Amino acid sequence: MAGTTPRGRAERRSPGELESAVLATLWATDRALTPAEIQAELGGDLAYNTVHTILRRLHDKGLVHRDADGRRGAYRPVKNAAQMTAEAMHRALDRGPDPIAALQHFVTGLSPAEEKALRELLGESDG
């Protein structure tokens, strides 16, 4: 069975993996979700407390906002997936010793559709 060890116990996922799964769940909807709703969307194999802990961590990092709803809270992402990806790319370029070389390597790995989209974006910014 996938997701379990040979002894039948569930495999532990890293906090980063769990955070990514929770964010992906939030990005997949246009409304705030409660921890219970997120738990259900993730398949229910995670304990409610685990989901709540991940949401608190994401909130502390400024990645999700908590909407008060009576005694329970619902969460929504602060930024969409594209914004977070772009920020990660900028951080990676800022950390490297040669951002131009990094961009050259990045561009050579683009698919034809991604290259076309990039060319169109650059054309729009020049005009």
- Express each pLDDT in 91-104 by its tens digit: 999 999 999 999 99
What's the average model confidence in pLDDT over 54-77?
A: 88
Q: How many domains does the chain have?
A: 2
Q: Match 């502390």 to its residue by tokens.
A: 60
d(CA 92, CA 69) in angstroms, rounded, equals: 37
45, part of any domain: yes
For residue 40, being part of any structural domain is answered with yes
Specify which residues 64 forms β-bridges with.
77
With bands split at pLDDT 50, 70 and 90, how would you rate the model's confidence at 9?
Answer: very low
- Establish if 107 belongs to a structural domain: yes
- The whole-number pLDDT of residue 45 equals 80
| Cβ neighbours around 33 below 10 Å, total | 22
The reply to whether 85 and 33 lie within a common domain is no
Query: In terms of residue numbers, what domain contains 53?
Result: 15-77
Residue 106 is assigned to a structural domain of this protein: yes
Q: Is the pLDDT of residue 86 over 80?
A: yes
Q: Is the dihedral of CA 69, 64, 48, 32 positive or negative?
A: positive
Question: What is each CA distance from 119 to 2, 84, 104, 109, in whole angstroms?
Answer: 41, 22, 14, 14
Residues 88 and 103 in one domain: yes
Quote the pLDDT of residue 11: 62
Tell me how far the alpha carbon of residue 23 is from its chain's centroid. Answer: 5
- Give me the phi and psi of 126, to 5 degrees please: -80, -25
Token duo for residue 46: 């995670």
Amino acid at 62: G
Reported as a pLDDT band with limits 50, 70 and 90, residue 2 is very low
Residues 92 and 112 in one domain: yes
Q: Per-residue pLDDT averaged across 82-98, rounded?
A: 93
Query: Quick one: pLDDT at residue 127?
Result: 47
More confidently predicted of 59 and 5: 59
By C-alpha distance, which of 64, 60, 58, 68 is closest to 77? 64
Whether residue 110 sits in one domain with residue 68: no
Q: What is the mean pLDDT of residues 23-44?
A: 93
